């Protein structure tokens, strides 16, 4: 018996609920639209359409992946972030809406030279450059596979001529000064890793999630070198763990950056630290 898209959706939602997936119906809809090659609006008009056996089989395979907590973006290979759709693979973090807070803060002030440390899929750097046609950027990552994903995203957004991708451990292979430096570094502590949701712990690259220990090593390395790369009136904006505001502020204060503000994410948790250059009075 050939099932309809509606019955497949109901069955998939039930399976994802049994697997403990938050937002089971939402994810089932996204994945059904993916296999049927329909957007959300189109899917709503096609729910009574009979599914060919090949499509039904592919949908079952994909739902089984999601039931094992593989992120939706890693299944579909894409994720909406800020104003664009980005390619995503198992080699990069799944971009999260809370990181858009960093982008919004960065856009509150003009910038011409951008540095994105640990760029991953490139969502931060490319979102910022797309909003500032006059700006140029450098985006670094220690993972060459992640840089490949970022390069592909730059091509998709027609930004390749305004961004240079560099294989680098933070500032190691970077030269020059920048009026905006951004990063979403690994900040989850070794203890907190044990409590991560399986969607994250079992599928996302641990190198991008944690430096081990107390989770603060990336900030220590960045803070030590930041004075040599931030321009006179520059700003640095970094994502942080929601329990880390005090410790991260202290780390940058030890490097002479006492002008730091903490901003909250969409859930009201501390999530961003914004730092001004030592001589920046703005």
Higher pLDDT, 224 or 40: 224
Report the alpha-carbon distance of residue 144 to residue 36 in Å, rounded: 33
Strand intervals (E) in 83-177: 84-87, 113-117, 136-141, 163-167
- Residue 144, exposed/middle/buried by CB under 10 A (0-12, 13-18, 19+)? exposed
Q: What is the pLDDT of residues 236-275, one digit of tens each?
A: 999 999 999 999 999 999 999 988 999 999 899 999 999 9
Rounded to the nearest 5 percent, the helix, strand and coil shares of the chain are: 45, 20, 40
Report the alpha-carbon distance of residue 106 to residue 150 in Å, rounded: 19
Report the alpha-carbon distance of residue 236 to residue 179 in Å, rounded: 8
Q: What is the pLDDT of residues 181-201, one digit of tens each?
A: 999 999 999 899 888 889 998
Grade residue 279 by pLDDT with cuts at 50, 70 and 90.
low
Q: Identify any residues that bridge with 262 across adjacent strands, giving them in sequence order.
A: 273
3, two tokens:
């099932």
């Amino acid at each position: 018996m050939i099932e309809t898209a509606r019955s497949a959706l109901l069955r998939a939602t039930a399976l994802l609920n049994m697997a403990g997936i938050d937002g089971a119906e939402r994810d089932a809809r996204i994945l059904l639209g993916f296999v049927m090659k329909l957007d959300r609006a189109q899917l709503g008009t096609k729910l009574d359409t009979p599914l060919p056996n090949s499509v039904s089989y592919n949908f079952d395979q994909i739902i089984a992946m999601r039931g094992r907590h593989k992120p939706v973006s890693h299944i579909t290979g894409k994720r909406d972030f800020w104003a664009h759709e980005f390619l995503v693979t198992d080699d990069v973090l799944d971009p999260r809406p809370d990181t858009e807070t960093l982008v919004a803060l960065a856009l509150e002030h003009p910038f011409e030279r951008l540095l994105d440390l640990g760029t991953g899929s490139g969502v931060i750097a490319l979102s910022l450059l797309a909003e500032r046609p006059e700006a140029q950027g450098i985006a670094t990552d220690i993972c060459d596979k992640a840089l490949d994903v970022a390069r592909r995203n730059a091509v998709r957004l027609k930004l390749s001529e305004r961004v240079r991708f560099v294989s680098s451990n933070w500032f190691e292979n970077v030269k020059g000064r920048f009026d905006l430096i951004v990063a979403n570094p690994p900040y989850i502590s070794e203890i907190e890793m044990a409590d991560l949701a399986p969607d994250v712990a079992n599928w996302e690259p641990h190198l991008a999630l944690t430096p081990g220990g107390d989770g603060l090593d990336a900030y220590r390395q960045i803070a030590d070198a930041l004075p040599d790369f931030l321009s006179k009136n520059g700003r640095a904006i970094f994502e942080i763990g929601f329990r880390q505001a005090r410790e991260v502020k202290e780390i940058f204060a030890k490097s002479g950056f006492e002008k730091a503000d903490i901003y909250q994410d969409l859930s009201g948790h501390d999530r961003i630290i914004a730092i001004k250059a030592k001589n920046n009075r703005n």
